Amino acid sequence: MQYKWVLFDADETLFHFDAFQGLQLMFSRFDVDFSRQDFAHYQKVNQPLWVDYQDGKLTAQELQNIRFTEWAQKLTVSTQELNSSFLSAMADICQLLPGAQELIDSLTGRVNMGIITNGFTELQSVRLQKVGLVDRFSPLVISEEVGIAKPDVGIFNHALSLMGNPDKSSVLMVGDNPHSDILGGINAGIHTCWLNSNGAEKPHDINPHYQVSTLCELREILSCKQSA
Per-residue pLDDT of the chain (228 residues; tens, 9 = 90+): 589 999 999 999 999 999 999 999 999 999 999 999 999 999 999 999 999 999 999 999 999 999 999 999 999 999 999 999 999 999 999 999 999 999 999 999 999 999 999 999 999 989 999 999 999 999 999 999 999 999 999 999 999 999 999 999 999 999 999 999 999 999 999 999 999 999 999 999 999 999 999 999 999 999 876 555
How many CB atoms within 10 Å of residue 200? 10
Q: Do domains 5-16+95-227 and 19-92 have the same CATH topology?
A: no
The answer to whether 196 and 184 have CB atoms below 8 angstroms apart is: no
Fold that domain 19-92 belongs to in CATH: DNA polymerase; domain 1 (1.10.150)
What span, in angstroms and rounded, lies between the C-alpha atoms of 180 and 186?
Answer: 10
For the chain, give every domain's residue range: 5-16+95-227, 19-92
What is the assigned CATH class of domain 5-16+95-227? alpha beta
Active site residue 52: no
> How high is the pLDDT of residue 195?
98
